[in-house]
Amino acid sequence: MSARRTALDLAEAVDLSRTGDLWLFRGSAAADQAIRVLTNAPVNHVGMAVVIDDMPPMMWHAELGRGLVDLWTGGHHRGVQLHDLGDAVRRWHDVYSQRAWLRQLTPEVTAEQEAAVLSTIARLDGTPFPQTASLLGRWARGRVRRAAGVEETYCAEVVAATYQAMGLLGDERPTNYYDPGRFWSGDELELRGAELGAELDVRVPSATRQSTSRSR
């Protein structure tokens, strides 16, 4: 891929995704804007690609919705979930009206890091997503290095916890220190032995909107 490439079609972005790559989203709904304003971030949601062996590319993230099948449990639930990657991006684009970007992790992850990802999925899948007030409270405590309880978690915490398990992030900061904007290139993310590339704008083809909840 050319170093000057800044945009990809969805199918190409999904095909290029590898475990540890980040997907970032920005929407225009009131809740999306509130998250960005309060955290001073350019994006309001982050997920992580999981691409292992011959399994389909997946997205590991947390949301309020339950519209997609969780590939870990085979059922529908809110909170921390493992989704088909293409389906997840299309849902965030078509249903939640979100713009998407891909950031690629280099070098590619090791077998030990993949095992850490699967262990984290087994531990966190199904953890409830906090309501907005609780989410902001968790993040505020994290900013002063106070860890929050494990009874619920939000999207950036899921990615941070997974990166910590993979050895890419240190544990001197609690997972609730992180917000989606921490994973944007404009912020300094202190990775260990790896780096993230610039944001690649992902062009998602338009589709007929579904009549479903916009809550996440």
Cβ(188)–Cβ(74) below 8 Å: no
Cβ(137)–Cβ(89) below 8 Å: no
200 φ/ψ angles, rounded to the nearest 5 degrees = -110, 120
* pLDDT bucket at 106, cuts 50 / 70 / 90: very high
Least confident residue range of 51-60, 169-178, 203-212: 203-212
Q: Is 199 exposed, middle or buried (0-12, 13-18, 19+ CB in 10 A)?
A: buried
Where do the structural domains in the chain lie, given as residue ranges? Answer: 7-191
User: 212 pLDDT exceeds 60?
Assistant: no
**Mean pLDDT of all residues in the chain?**
87
- Total residues found in the chain within this entry: 216
**Cβ atoms within 10 A of the Cβ of 191, count?**
16
HSE-up of residue 48 (Cα within 13 Å, Cβ side): 26
pTM (two decimals): 0.88
3 state DSSP class of 12: helix
* pLDDT bucket at 132, cuts 50 / 70 / 90: low
If one looks up domain 7-191 in CATH, what number appears?
Answer: 3.90.1720.10
User: 3 pLDDT exceeds 80?
Assistant: no
The structure tokens listed for 119 are 């262990």
Q: How confident is the model at residue 31, as a pLDDT?
A: 72
182 Cβ contact list (under 8 Å, min separation 6): 41, 156, 160, 189
The structure tokens listed for 27 are 């929407």
